[in-house]
Amino acid sequence: MEARKSLIKIKPKRYKNGDVVKVSFMVMHPMETGSRKDKKTKKLIPAKYINSVKFNYNGKEITTMKVWESLSVNPVFTTYMKVDGKGKLKVTYTDNTGEVNEKSKKIKPKG
Amino acid sequence: MQRRNFLKNVGVALAASAVIPAVSFAGGTGKDANKMSYKTALSAITGGKTPKASAKVHLKAPEIAENGAVVPVTVNVDSPMTANDYVKAIHILNTKNGNARTIDVFLTPANGKAMFSTRIKLGGTQDVVALVELSNGDYLIASQSVKVTIGGCG
């Protein structure tokens, strides 16, 4: 399992239970469509792109995404999330070559 | 000795030719089967239902994209996001890339707000379309034309 650089950002940084916060997941990934030709060899660069992203909050799958090949390199996925208790937000993502990775962030509501 | 080697080599050659590559380099039929035209994508998602144009869907994409490789797209839908009334899915489609499907985002009331934002590749000037599925089974739609000067698909 290759470790990829990724980041989960929550805005605002301070939140209470009941708040709806913005969640961004960013990951370094080439997102090759499979339609691009290597300029030197003239051969098609094989497709390698994230094809699924799942957000799990304290054991509940709150958002899932089916990703096709035209998302930009180093993709960003931004949604919102209702804060409902202390715990963990886990993002699991897979790519079309079978690579599976995950990234977690602690959820710590104040007050 | 020679006969044995010959038979062995034939055996190896036959075994090798029997292996069918799972991924063809030229983007063969397996992968092309996943590429949909805009019309096909629309009916694949709605099951033939006609989506309604709606002011509740706020699609934000640049009118002119400086770089087709990184086009920011944001979709916001007015919705209470309660168990009885929420946005089930936001599908982002395009009209002129090799595959009209870009991303399908499945939301739940736990999202609190019906919003999704990302950056996409556009191969040339075309429309970006937000197709929204509501919990009551309705489909809403909004589109934005994006002029692309430098195509982003390679």
Tens digit of each residue's pLDDT (9 = 90 or more) over A40-94: 999 999 999 999 999 999 999 999 999 999 999 999 999 999 999 999 999 999 9
More confident residue, B152 or A84: A84
CB neighbour list of residue A95: distance below 8 Å, 6 or more residues apart: A29, A48, A49, A50, A51
Over 50: is that where the pLDDT of B27 sits?
Answer: no
Distance from B13 to chain A by nearest Cα, in Å?
26
Q: With bands split at pLDDT 50, 70 and 90, how would you rate the model's confidence at B19?
A: very low
Considering its fold, how many domains does chain B have in total? 1
Output the pLDDT for position B66.
87
Structural domain of B87: 37-148
Query: Is B4 part of any domain?
Result: no
Encoded amino acid at B144, one letter: Q
Output the pLDDT for position A75.
98
Query: Is B3 part of any domain?
Result: no
Query: Is B10 part of any domain?
Result: no
- As its CATH architecture, domain A6-34+45-106 has Sandwich (2.60)
The pLDDT tens digits for A14-29 are 999 999 999 999 999 9
Query: Is B14 part of any domain?
Result: no
The pLDDT tens digits for B97-147 are 999 999 999 999 999 999 999 999 999 999 999 999 999 999 999 999 999
Complex confidence, ipTM:
0.95
Residues of B with Cβ-Cβ distance to A71 under 8 angstroms? 102-103, 118-121
More confident residue, B152 or B92: B92
Q: How many CB pairs under 8 A join A and B?
A: 107
Query: Which among A72, A76, A77, A97 is the top mutation candidate for probing chain B, defined by the most B β-carbons within 10 Å of its own β-carbon?
Result: A72
Residues of B with Cβ-Cβ distance to A36 under 8 angstroms? 153-154
- CB contact under 8 Å between B112 and A82, yes or no, is yes
Over 90: is that where the pLDDT of B149 sits?
Answer: no
Q: What is the CATH number of the domain that holds B118?
A: 2.60.40.2470
Query: Is B75 part of any domain?
Result: yes
Over 90: is that where the pLDDT of B13 sits?
Answer: no
Output the pLDDT for position B11.
53
